[in-house]
Structure 1
Amino acid sequence: MVKKRLSFSVRDELAARIASGRVAPGAKLPSEPELADELGVSRPTLREALRSLEEDGFVTRTRGAGTYATRRPRLRNNLDVNFGVTEAIRAAGMRPGTMQIAVHTEAASAQVSLDLDLVLGDPVVILERVRTADGRPVVFSRDIVSTSRVSASEVARMPVDGSLYDVLEHLGYAVANGVVTIEPSLTDRALARLLKGKVGVPVLFLRQVDFDLNGDPVLLSEEHHLAEAFEFTVVRRGPGRRAP
């Protein structure tokens, strides 16, 4: 137990060095004997810490070449749990932020009407944001909700990094669950400009419909996640014991 706790402490120390820039992106870490001696731990303890850092995307390890700090640690997001981009960024030990924000109202398209159980052309509020991790743009999101549930002024009064889940819950539409689809895509010119990157960069497009406690659809979210910045996990259950 002591060894395991110590490896966690070593892991946190090295992660902090990388996240703060004390170890530059792409820099090679000292050899295992040197690093173990510097940190005052055994090599098995250090290896356990390095293995955890590699799993979390802070370092890459190549046999015979050594251990290198990555350009950016990947943000892990467990799709079994319905939480937002801000929480995923904080969980990775980085600072969440918002670069751009826009709120406007438009008529619901055929697809939006179908997803939110509206009449074609019903007014909806759209909240568009570019989300950042340590100042780097990593997600462009569009949240769409019917004006019959939330007004444009209520959305506009939200804190910059606020959650529509909180607004919906305050108004009596607490989200119980959501259904998400994920598709691979590439940045076009508009998306590349928003994420301050190049055209043709891989992204993961998430489209999610959230339902309240009554099973009614209350929120549609469309998010473009930089593929290099995120890692998504899903717990697959079953099939369990089968009859002979």
Structure 2
Amino acid sequence: MGQESNIRREQRQPLSEEVRQQIAAEITDGTYAPNEKLPSEPEFARRYGISRPTLREILSGLERDGLIRRVHGVGTFVTPKRTRVNSVLDLDIGVTEAVTAAKANLNVEVLDASIGKIKKWIAAALELPDDAEAFRVERIIRVDGVPATHGYDVIPLPILEAAGFPSYDGGSIYQFLESRCGVHLLGGVAEIEPVVASVRLAKLLDCPRNSPLLRLEQTERSAGGVPVLLSQEHYAPGVFSLTVHRLRRDRTDVAGRRAKSDRG
């Protein structure tokens, strides 16, 4: 009996994890309303029988999960329920197009739209000289008022020059290239990497510093195979649901093609 009791104790979750799950459940089931102020840290700690340092760790985790937001000197508040935007990565669509397709409220804040110097790695990706200038667009894309994506797009100047330097209105970069610049976009390979929010990105996306972000970087090419756009997007957690349609090839078919290639 004593051995069974020890096994049960070992299998139980730590108290801090039980408390975290309980608070998260109370937030998601509507016990606390959106934007409602939560009890003070001393009250919360007494209620759950934990220390204040442990409670702070729990609240930090809930903030990273996007369930709460803490305002220094004011208190802790429940974040409003966020709209989820589903975007399929095997389709080459822009962020604004995905938000529009989800029928969510879209707001685009253009932080910069100007011609200027670009970094060498961007110039290399666009097959431009190291000292080239380009058209740079930096935006914050909000979904139902919540900062969802930071976008940085670079377009080579010859593309704009050929189209008579059309004005950019803050909408979809893809539509700008296709409709205003007459470019037939073919697509590109997207590189996806988990990163943490820098001080600047944390401020722009209204999330804690070092929060997990997803970075998507892609060089878009025209139908002629020419690089026409470099896009770098940082997705804040909790808004976009990104999926990829994966197909498993028949291994016998792959082996047969490899053998045929070896013989050739």
Aligned residue identity for 2:173:
L
* Aligned mates of 2:239, 2:248 — CA distance in 1: 30
Match of 1:81 in 2: 91
After superposition, the C-alpha distances for 1:90-109 in whole angstroms (9 at most, x for unaligned) are 33331111134311222232
Please state how far the C-alpha of 1:241 moved relative to its aligned partner.
6.0
Alignment of 1:42-191 (within 5 A): 71-150=81-160, 154=165, 157-160=167-170, 162-169=171-178, 170-191=180-201
TM-score after normalising by structure 1: 0.66
Match of 1:199 in 2: 209
Contact 2:94–2:174 (Cα < 8 Å) also in 1: no
Contact 2:85–2:239 (Cα < 8 Å) also in 1: yes
* Aligned mates of 2:136, 2:252 — CA distance in 1: 47
Q: Over aligned residues, Cα RMSD in angstroms?
A: 2.6
Match of 2:244 in 1: 234
Please state how far the C-alpha of 1:154 moved relative to its aligned partner.
4.0
Aligned residue identity for 2:197:
T
After superposition, the C-alpha distances for 1:167-205 in whole angstroms (9 at most, x for unaligned) are 322433221112100110111110111112221211101
Identity of aligned residues (%): 29
Please state how far the C-alpha of 1:72 moved relative to its aligned partner.
1.9
Match of 1:45 in 2: none
1:120 is paired with a residue whose SS is: coil
Aligned residue identity for 2:175:
D
* Aligned mates of 2:149, 2:165 — CA distance in 1: 23
After superposition, the C-alpha distances for 1:119-164 in whole angstroms (9 at most, x for unaligned) are 111111110000000111111100001112126x946x3223x222
Query: Can you give the 5+ residue segments of structure 2 that lack an aligned partner in the other structure?
Result: 1-26, 32-79, 256-264
Match of 2:15 in 1: none
How many residue pairs were aligned?
A: 179
Q: Which runs of 4+ in 1 moved over 4 A?
A: none
Query: Can you give the 5+ residue segments of structure 1 that lack an aligned partner in the other structure?
Result: 1-24, 30-69
1:124 is paired with a residue whose SS is: strand
Please state how far the C-alpha of 1:213 moved relative to its aligned partner.
0.4
| 1:26 maps to which of 17, 25, 28 | 28
1:113 is paired with a residue whose SS is: helix
1:168 is paired with a residue whose SS is: helix
